[in-house]
């Protein structure tokens, strides 16, 4: 197995750093899946047992000026690594104004992602900072756990209002309850609701629009009928706190009483986040 890549463009480096910072806010550990064309950050929580799951996809050519990969074999040309995104985020912070950043899979005291940043210097002597980030190589027999999640059969799909607006609402609501109900219909309406024995609070959003997935299943659904999911408010807040991707589109698919499926799309990044509903 071999992996090495290089970033020279400062804009690409900063964008990659923002993506990693977002992932670091969502999970302490995840799988970095490397293929010839893409990088994936994967959190494979078992939604059925109350865990969140995440799938973040990056097109490598939009970030790296050089990219070389030799996977575990010719027919399985990819590498899966368990990594701490927080460690990767810290390493990237020291490289913000770097002339170039090289990332390489190395073998030190253990397998590592070695990140070497060439920093600007006022003299002719170059300055470099190197970080060795420990990783665990995931054997091929476990790869099936880290494939792209299938799109759930949702009841309603809706475009989200600005994430900052949702975050402000959720931040206020979290002081009132541990759980939040997100509901939406096919008329572009969405509500965020808190209901307890002492208080009931609802924030209404209208004219958001519904994504055209080309699925006929929802055509027979009453446009006024709400689908909803009641979720742990901390899991939703964690998702909103970490966002630095600045998506061009943000959507939410609701599987009635089962799953909240959040999707952020940027021109070269897509992030999916699954939050299980609670009774």
pLDDT in tens, 88-122: 999 999 888 889 999 999 998 899 999 999 988 77
Tokens representing 62 are 């939009």
Q: In what order do the strands lie in the sheet with 127-134?
A: 66-70, 2-7, 100-107, 111-119, 127-134
Q: What is the DSSP string of 99-111?
A: SEEEEEEEESSSE
For the stretch 237-271, pLDDT in tens is 988 987 777 788 999 999 999 999 999 998 788 99
pLDDT for 46 equals: 62
pLDDT band per the 50, 70, 90 thresholds, residue 47: low
According to CATH, the topology of domain 2-146 is Proliferating Cell Nuclear Antigen (3.70.10)
Please compute the mean of the pLDDT values over residues 132-149 and round it to a whole number: 91
pLDDT for 215 equals: 56
**What are the start and end residues of each CATH 3.70.10.10 domain in the chain?**
2-146, 156-276
- Among residues of the chain, what percentage have pLDDT more than 90? 72
pLDDT for 193 equals: 97
For the stretch 146-170, pLDDT in tens is 888 887 789 999 999 999 999 999 9
Yes or no: is domain 156-276 CATH 3.70.10.10? yes
Q: pTM of the predicted model, to two decimals?
A: 0.88
Q: What is the DSSP string of 222-267?
A: -TT--EEEEEEHHHHHHHHHT--S--SEEEEEEETTTEEEEEEE-S
Q: How far apart are CA 99 and CA 121, in angstroms?
A: 10
């Amino acid at each position: 197995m071999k992996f090495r890549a290089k970033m020279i463009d400062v804009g690409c480096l900063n964008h990659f750093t923002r993506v990693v910072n977002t992932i670091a806010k969502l999970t302490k550990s995840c799988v970095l899946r490397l293929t010839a064309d893409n990088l994936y950050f994967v959190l494979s929580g078992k939604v059925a047992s109350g865990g969140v799951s995440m799938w973040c996809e990056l097109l490598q050519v939009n970030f790296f000026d050089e990219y070389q990969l030799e996977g575990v074999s010719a027919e399985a040309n990819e590498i899966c690594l368990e990594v701490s995104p927080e460690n990767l985020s810290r390493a990237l912070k020291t490289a913000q104004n770097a002339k170039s950043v090289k990332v390489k899979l190395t073998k030190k005291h253990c397998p590592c992602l070695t990140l070497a940043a060439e920093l600007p210097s006022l003299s002719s002597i170059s300055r470099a900072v190197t970080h060795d980030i420990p990783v665990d190589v995931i054997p091929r027999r476990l790869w099936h756990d880290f494939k792209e999640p299938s799109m759930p059969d949702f009841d309603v799909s809706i475009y989200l209002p600005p994430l900052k607006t949702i975050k402000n609402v959720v931040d206020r609501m979290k002081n009132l309850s541990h759980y939040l109900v997100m509901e939406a219909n096919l008329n572009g309406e969405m509500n965020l609701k808190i209901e307890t024995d002492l208080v009931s609070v609802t924030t209404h959003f209208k004219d958001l629009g519904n994504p055209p997935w080309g699925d006929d299943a929802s055509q027979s659904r009453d446009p006024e009928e709400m689908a909803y999911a009641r979720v742990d408010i901390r899991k939703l807040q964690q998702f909103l706190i970490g966002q630095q991707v600045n998506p061009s589109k943000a959507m939410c698919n609701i599987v009635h009483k089962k799953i909240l499926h959040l999707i952020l799309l940027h021109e070269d990044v897509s992030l999916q986040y699954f939050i299980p509903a609670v009774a």
